[in-house]
Amino acid sequence: MKLSIFGAGAWGTALAVALAGEHQVTLWARDAALIDTLRDTRRNPRYLPEARLPESLQLTADFAVAANTDLALVVTPIAGLRPTLQRLLTERGAALPPVLWACKGFEAGTGLLPHEVAAQVLPAGAACGALSGPSFAKEVAEGLPSAVTLAMTHPALARQLARQLHTRLLRLYANDDLTGVEVGGAVKNVMAIAAGVADGLQCGHNARAALLTRGLAEISRLTQALGGQPATLMGLSGLGDLILTCTGNLSRNRRVGMLLAEGRTLDDILASLGHVAEGVPTARETLARAQALGVDMPITAGVCAMLFEHASPHAVVAALLERAPKAEDGSGLLG
């Protein structure tokens, strides 16, 4: 299969490395100088310096590659999703191939999930969906085992593409709950910031476990309000991604929280990361969407207070601990 990956950040590069042995893969970046570097060194020094790019992997800064591809995979930050979809539509028109995106979050300014952005750009009924799940780019590029979800509103096509993209080390599972998969993938980054704060303040493992559990309840409430299925969150794109991002040392969003706990400013933190931490803009959009729907998300509100209102991490943790206790719903998710 001819597969074009649009976006040469860490995750786009990792997917290109993982899939190049199985398919005819082209990795596109808008920065021609970056493509020259990748082509000359067979490495991505800024985003994934450890991984060597296979010789079979094609590299280009020419968007015309979209004209001859069987599957388009958009692996930009969510801010790049809309313009990339628009360019794909311009390039292919009625002959648009299936499109998958691997970005997570709510679009800044609109508060839309990726599939809602796609609905505004692509023709009705376009074959498109999300690739999401617990997957650090570095480990995927190193060939360590990983499993992710491929979600589409076209169940048969989702199963077909999952089979085609599935490898021994990168396992894909089809799902038809696009909303649930996307909400899980977006809000877990917000929870990872909260987990990083808790770890940075040395609140302990018990507190982290409680935070993840109550964080999952928040994600579930928002998922249900947006029309998704809470049961989806017990899978890879929910609980799996939440555990990885909230506990793994490779998590940029968890790192943001740990630096907040040290008293660092947000500007200083973002400058030091060198990579996008999607949980930061996603926190604001998540809270706005939740408030509009009347969904209670106290952990998300606390993260926003620390990020954008200069609230003390100690004060936010204290406020969460002082909340009145509630009965836990029997599902463990909705209470």
pLDDT of residue 330: 46
pLDDT digits (tens, 9 = 90+) for 67-102: 999 999 999 999 999 999 999 999 999 899 999 999
Confidence of residue 329 (pLDDT cuts 50, 70, 90): low
Q: State the chain's mean pLDDT as an integer.
A: 94
Q: Is the pLDDT of residue 332 over 70?
A: no
The pTM (predicted TM-score) of the whole model is 0.94
Cα distance between residue 77 and residue 91, in whole Å:
21
Q: Do domains 2-176 and 186-321 have the same CATH topology?
A: no
Extents of the domains making up the chain = 2-176, 186-321
Query: What b/e string do you get for 253-292 counting C-beta neighbours within 10 Å, with b at 16 or more?
Result: bbbbbbbbbeebeeeebbeeeeebbbbbbbbbbbbebbee
Catalytic residue, from 104, 138, 188, 326: name it. 188
Q: Is the pLDDT of residue 319 over 70?
A: yes
pLDDT digits (tens, 9 = 90+) for 234-245: 999 999 999 999
CB 72 within 8 A of CB 63: no
Q: Is the pLDDT of residue 331 over 70?
A: no
CB 150 within 8 A of CB 219: no
Q: Calculate mean pLDDT across residues 137-163.
A: 96
Could you tell me the CA-to-CA distances from 139 to 51, 191, 193 in Å, in that order?
Answer: 10, 22, 21
pLDDT of residue 326: 73
Residues in Cβ contact with 64 at an 8 Å cutoff, skipping those fewer than 6 apart: 91
Which of these, 165, 93, 95, lies nearest to 129 by C-alpha position?
165
pLDDT of residue 75: 98
- CATH code of the domain occupying 2-176: 3.40.50.720
pLDDT of residue 335: 41
Cα distance between residue 9 and residue 303, in whole Å:
26
pLDDT > 70 fraction of the chain, expressed in percent and rounded: 97
pLDDT digits (tens, 9 = 90+) for 249-292: 999 999 999 999 999 999 999 999 877 789 999 999 999 999 99
Q: Is the pLDDT of residue 17 over 70?
A: yes
Topology of domain 186-321 in CATH is: N-(1-d-carboxylethyl)-l-norvaline Dehydrogenase; domain 2 (1.10.1040)
| Residue 188 annotated to the active site | yes
